[in-house]
C-alpha cells in the first residue's frame, strides 16, 4: 500500500455490518495531499475520498487490501475540508467473481458530501498490483 493510502487508512475507523459497513474518516489537517491541493483553500480530493471507501470496504470483509476494478459513478456534492469528520455508509454485494459492488454515501453531519458506486476486490499479490 502506498504512503498516501496508508495515511488515509490510519484516519479510518470501520465497523462491519450486515451487507456493508459504517466508517469514520477523520480528515487530518496534516494529510500529505493538502500542500499541493489548493494551497489557499485546501480540500480533500475526490480520489482520496474514493480511496477511503475502498480501504474501509476491504477492512469490512477482513481483506488486506482492495483495488478498484471499475468506477460506476462518482458524485461530489460538498467540499470536504481539513478537520472534517466524514461518515461513510457503505453497502456491499459480492458479485461471484471475488469482487464487490460497493455503494457508498459520505456525509458530514447531516450533509451529503459524496457518493460512489464502484466495483472492487482483493489485490492480487504478484500480478502487478502494487503493495
Block mean pLDDT (10 aa), the chain, length 131 = 92 97 96 83 93 97 94 96 97 92 97 97 61 40
Domain contains 88 = yes
Sign (positive or negative) of CA dihedral 106, 110, 113, 115? positive
Domain contains 128 = no
Strands (E), the chain: 12-17, 20-26, 66-76, 85-94, 99-108, 111-122
Domain contains 127 = no
Q: Which domain holds residue 86?
A: 3-122
Domain contains 130 = no
* CATH classification of the domain holding 97: 3.10.129.10
What was the pLDDT predicted at 127? 47
Domain contains 131 = no
What was the pLDDT predicted at 130? 43
Domain contains 97 = yes
Domains contained in the chain, number: 1
Sign (positive or negative) of CA dihedral 114, 29, 52, 12? negative
Domain contains 35 = yes
What was the pLDDT predicted at 40? 83
Domain contains 110 = yes
Amino acid at each position: 500500500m502506498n504512503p498516501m493510502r496508508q495515511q488515509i487508512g490510519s484516519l479510518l475507523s470501520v465497523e462491519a455490518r450486515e451487507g456493508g459497513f459504517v466508517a469514520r474518516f477523520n480528515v487530518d489537517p496534516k494529510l500529505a495531499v493538502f500542500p499541493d491541493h489548493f494551497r489557499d483553500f485546501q480540500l480533500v480530493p475526490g480520489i482520496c475520498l474514493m480511496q477511503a471507501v475502498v480501504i474501509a470496504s476491504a477492512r469490512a470483509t477482513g481483506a488486506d487490501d482492495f483495488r478498484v476494478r471499475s468506477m460506476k459513478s462518482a458524485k461530489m456534492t460538498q467540499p470536504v475540508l481539513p478537520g472534517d469528520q466524514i461518515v461513510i455508509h457503505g453497502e456491499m454485494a459480492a458479485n461471484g467473481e471475488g469482487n464487490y459492488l460497493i455503494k457508498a454515501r459520505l456525509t458530514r453531519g447531516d450533509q451529503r458530501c459524496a457518493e460512489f458506486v464502484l466495483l472492487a476486490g482483493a489485490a492480487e499479490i504478484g500480478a502487478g498490483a502494487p503493495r
